Amino acid sequence: MHWSAQFLARQSSQLFGRRLQLYLFGLPGTIVHEGSHVIACLLFGHRVDRVKWFDPQAVDGALGSVEHSYDASSAYQRVGTIVIGIAPLLAGAAVLLLAARLLLEVPVVRLTDLADLADMAGPTAVPLWRWTLFAYASLSVGGSMHLSASDVRGMWRGVLTLSIWLVAALLLSLALWWVLSHVAPKVWLTVWLTVWPTHVAPVLQQAASGFARASDALSGALLLSVAVNVAGAVLLFAVRRLVRVAR
């Protein structure tokens, strides 16, 4: 995603000029990118110290940024750094899926959904203006979904905390299984034959099914973003070549 976004930005800036490219494609995507960080900070109790929504004159090339602080002793806030870091992916995917739903009237979870829709003909076909608006939303928002180096660096505390939680939960489950199977085998057999299939397994299956649907939707949106970025960059490159030949 980072490579495709950079490829698109390079081609569009060479065709439209750096300033026009930033305001045409960079402004909407940057606002969504930084806005997702702000919302995630508020959800996990982080204090938002400073927000730079859009700065085309930035010396370091960062069009936007969010400075936040949190209580390092709070495990909840530490785990929140993971969601804060990947928030642009989640928010960008939500915007693309919503745009596909509202403009193309299709829930996109696979690229083939768009391909099938593009082949439709007749009075039920999606109007060209809707495709154009969807393409613009995909280019402007999809081009800003990639994570910056600071986004990735900010997640390490959360990743460490979550890893400790998962390992502790696994060890606790194994210890409980060992105790029940060796110390109280009858209790363990009762739990395995009655409690697990009727109470635990259905909850786990429902959670896994929901996670799978969300994962399919997210992966579809991310692949769509990469595909649109590459297609848009190739199209702009072709336009640049034609303009150069015409001159």
- Can you give the pLDDT at residue 121? 43
For residue range 96-143, list pLDDT tens digits in order.
888 887 887 776 555 555 555 555 444 456 788 888 888 888 888 877
> Higher-confidence residue: 112 or 230?
230
> What CA–CA distance (Å, rounded) separates 227 from 142?
10
Looking at residues 176-197, what average pLDDT do you find?
76
> What CA–CA distance (Å, rounded) separates 1 from 229?
8
- Can you give the pLDDT at residue 172? 92
Strands (E) in the chain, as ranges, are 47-52, 65-69
What's the domain range around 68? 2-246
pLDDT averaged over the chain? 80
- Can you give the pLDDT at residue 118? 52
For residue range 138-183, list pLDDT tens digits in order.
888 877 777 777 788 888 888 888 899 899 999 998 888 887 777 7
Helix (H) or strand (E) holding 149: helix 149-153
For residue range 44-54, list pLDDT tens digits in order.
989 999 988 88
Strands (E) in 26-76, as ranges, are 47-52, 65-69
- Can you give the pLDDT at residue 202? 86
Q: Are 44 and 77 in contact (CB under 8 A)?
A: yes
The tally of domains found in the chain comes to: 1
Work out the percent of the chain whose per-residue pLDDT is above 70: 90
> What CA–CA distance (Å, rounded) separates 45 from 222?
28
> Higher-confidence residue: 228 or 31?
31
